[in-house]
Amino acid sequence: MNRYQVLFSTEAAEDLERLFDHILERELASPSGDLDIPARAMEAIEQACSFLQHSPFSCRKTGSNPFLRELIISFGGSGYVALFEIHDASTVIIGAIRHQLESDFH
């Protein structure tokens, strides 16, 4: 079985920072905020993305490019979506990550 190297683009890394900051701000503003949630969300994303090391072709296609796909990441009541490309026979590049309730990748 082929093992893929999973890389995050600069944009995807920025998305992770944005998502972390959003969750942290939300929890800080909440009277019952849980400051462990931002770290748990990032851990859920990291674990889900590690799945791509073994089975990137099992994720759903986006558009007409068979190598451009989405990974659905469950977390809490909704979750996240990672847009990625199977770059070659050994590399997957995550191009963007968004919350499932966001309208689209930016």
Please, what are the domains in the chain? 5-99 (3.30.2310.20)
- pLDDT beyond 70 at 14: yes
Instruction: Count the residues in the chain.
Output: 106
Give the separation between CA 34 and CA 54, rounded to whole angstroms: 33
Give the separation between CA 95 and CA 78, rounded to whole angstroms: 21
Residues 32-78: tens digit of each pLDDT: 989 999 999 999 999 999 999 999 999 999 989 999 999 999 998 88
Which stretches does DSSP call E strand in 1-106?
5-8, 60-61, 68-75, 78-88, 91-99
92 and 5 in contact (C-beta within 8 Å)?
Answer: yes
Angstrom distances, CA of residue 90 to CA of 53, 63, 85? 9, 22, 11
For 28, other C-beta atoms within 10 Å of its C-beta total: 10
Model-level pTM? Answer: 0.90
